[in-house]
Amino acid sequence: KAGVTQTPRYLIKTRGQQVTLSCSPISGHRSVSWYQQTPGQGLQFLFEYFSETQRNKGNFPGRFSGRQFSNSRSEMNVSTLELGDSALYLCASSLEGAGMEQFFGPGTRLTVL
């Protein structure tokens, strides 16, 4: 079974721009969660989508948004990028969501200049 894939793997953007990251979950998994990983804060939960609906949301500003498509693929968008948004963005998929094993993708490394 193919694992979780994320594209692109690396991105360089400048302040004020916006960016869209993509995540393809493991086949059959309906839950996709997004995390921001930084050296100082560790993994911070952004949001979870399940069957095309945002089910849970972390404590991030509204510049961070996401969506999930009917095939469970998910995208995350960050608008008006700030230097502090530089991080590794990870997505994780699971069959039903929290409380079950999550499988992480390799992440997208975003650098904001």
Binding region for another protein (CB under 8 A)? 4, 33, 35, 41-45, 48, 55-56, 58, 90, 92, 98-99, 101-107
Give least dist CB 15 to another protein, A. 26
CA distance 47 to 61: 11
What lies within 8 Å, CB to CB, of 113 at 6+ separation is 12, 13, 14, 15, 83
Give least dist CB 56 to another protein, A. 5
- Which residue in 26, 25, 22 sits closest to 6, CA to CA? 22
- Which residue in 64, 46, 63, 43 sits closest to 55, CA to CA? 46
Give least dist CB 8 to another protein, A. 14
Q: Output 4 or 11, the one with its CB closest to another protein.
A: 4
Q: Output 79 or 95, the one with its CB closest to another protein.
A: 95
